[in-house]
Amino acid sequence: MTMAGTFLDSTELVLNMGPQHPSTHGVLRVILKLDGERVLGTECVIGYLHRGVEKIAENRTYAMFAPYVDRMDYVAAVSNGLGYCLAVEKLLNAEATPRAQAVRVILTELNRIGSHLLWLGTHALDIGAITPLFYCMREREYTLNIFEKYCGARLTTHAFRIGGLQYETYDGFEKDVLEFCDMFLPKVDEYEELLTGNRIWIERLTNVGILNAADCKDYGVTGPMLRAAGVKWDIRKALPYSGYEKYDFEIPTRENGDTYDRYIVRMQEMRQSVRILRQAVADIPAGPIMAKVPKVIKPPVGEAYVSIEAPKGELGYYIVSDGSTQPWRVRVRPPSFVNLQALDKMARGALVADVVAIIGTTDIVLGEVDR
């Protein structure tokens, strides 16, 4: 919607929120059209972090571009890398070795937990609960330490390579992951004790920012937001990749599609991730960590779209190869960008304070929105 002419109407107020605003989780600017405290409409202004990632991809070789994808959703860099590697492997008609797949699953699920923890901490902070942030950061540190021990980096990990992994797991990797699992589940209980039944938390979140299943599909919204609206859909189950079909886990769903349900879904997803982690760690197949892929990656002429279930929703890579060492076109289908589009739908009729809660449970990372 456009904001033109809104100043002429004396009952409406146009309020600018961001780009420097703590609750927008980065540099999101939202123009709010208000009637008192009620939101009549919103308009997002994005692009402050645009780095032209897709153009850069056309000027790099396939392997050289891999580290760039970590800089999009920097909270879930491992997921980004997995999606990109899978897409290139699809073009090469190659598949990672079983051992590499299992390690990929472990790291990706750890990253999902880390991403959800960062979301939970900052979201609670937005709502006014300061304590969970410190707890979440404390536990997230464990996941980051495992990444650091594995590949030397904590955030922009570049953990995977096209065809498998660069590094073998370190001694004690399984033990670290299992220790994390044992430690982590009671902590989730702790968060839930603080928040789930908390009266203020419930009042602030229930029936705020409702997005039902039909709207979710219409707006292309995926991930926990879609599942909170009652659609039992997870790409790990629907179109399994990297061996996810081997693991036994559930897709948590809720009915209402409000911010409270999205909170519950993410909490349960962390528990399910622990479940996957335990199964994966118990059975990491022996064998090589790299499949036989050429040293110079030169996929035949063709195109492929591969998507994964990133912590925020469907993360897809559409890659067109012209047969040379550099991709002809790389398109990233970012979940944050598409999910953010539904903000206007969710925020209409809400209060200004609710907009903060709605942006929070949309779980956007502006690095991925703007690319």
Note whether 338 binds other proteins by CB under 8 A.
yes
Which one, 231 or 267, has the nearer CB to other proteins?
A: 231
Binding-residue pattern over the window 231 to 270 for other proteins, x denoting contact by CB under 8 A: x-x----xx-------------------------------
Least spacing, CB of residue 58 vs other proteins, in Å:
7
Note whether 2 binds other proteins by CB under 8 A.
yes
Note whether 139 binds other proteins by CB under 8 A.
no
Strands (E) across the chain are located at 13-17, 29-35, 38-45, 160-161, 164-165, 302-310, 313-321, 327-333
Cα of first residue to Cα of last residue in the chain, in angstroms, is 23
Note whether 293 binds other proteins by CB under 8 A.
yes
- Phi and psi of 307, rounded to 5°? -130, 155
One of 6, 325, 348, 351 touching other proteins (CB under 8 A): 325
Question: Can you name the residues that pair with 306 across neighbouring β-strands?
Answer: 317
- Per DSSP bridges, beta strands 302-310 and 164-165 are unpaired
Does the CA dihedral 69-51-305-326 come out positive or negative? negative
One of 149, 318, 348, 351 touching other proteins (CB under 8 A): 318
Stretch that binds other proteins, among 60-68, 107-115, 280-288, 358-366 (CB under 8 A): 60-68
Count of chain residues binding other proteins (CB under 8 A): 64
Tokens of 186: 């009671």
Tokens of 98: 């079983």
> How many beta carbons lie within 10 A of that of residue 21, not counting itself?
16
Least spacing, CB of residue 193 vs other proteins, in Å:
35
94 to 123, contacts with other proteins by CB under 8 A? none
> How many beta carbons lie within 10 A of that of residue 76, not counting itself?
26
CA 282 to chain centre: 26
Stretch that binds other proteins, among 169-177, 196-204, 289-297, 358-366 (CB under 8 A): 289-297
Note whether 132 binds other proteins by CB under 8 A.
no
What one-character DSSP code corresponds to residue 290? B
Q: State how far the alpha carbon of 15 is from the alpha carbons of 11, 19, 258, 355, in Å.
A: 13, 12, 24, 12
Note whether 314 binds other proteins by CB under 8 A.
yes
Stretch that binds other proteins, among 3-11, 61-69, 119-127, 189-197 (CB under 8 A): 61-69
Which one, 36 or 300, has the nearer CB to other proteins?
A: 300
Binding-residue pattern over the window 141 to 170 for other proteins, x denoting contact by CB under 8 A: --------------------xxx--x----
Nearest-10 crossing angle of helices 98-127, 131-151: 160
SS3 (DSSP) at 10: coil
Note whether 292 binds other proteins by CB under 8 A.
no
In this structure, what is the dihedral angle of CA atoms 66, 244, 73, 121, given to the nearest 10 degrees?
-150
Stretch that binds other proteins, among 33-41, 132-140, 252-260, 304-312 (CB under 8 A): 304-312
- Phi and psi of 370, rounded to 5°? -90, -30
Which residue bears the tokens 């629907």? 238
Least spacing, CB of residue 357 vs other proteins, in Å:
22
Binding site for other proteins (CB under 8 A): 1-2, 46-47, 50, 52, 54-56, 58-64, 90-91, 93, 161-163, 166, 217-221, 231, 233, 238-239, 290, 293-297, 300-305, 307, 314, 316, 318, 320-326, 328-329, 331, 333, 337-338, 341, 370-371
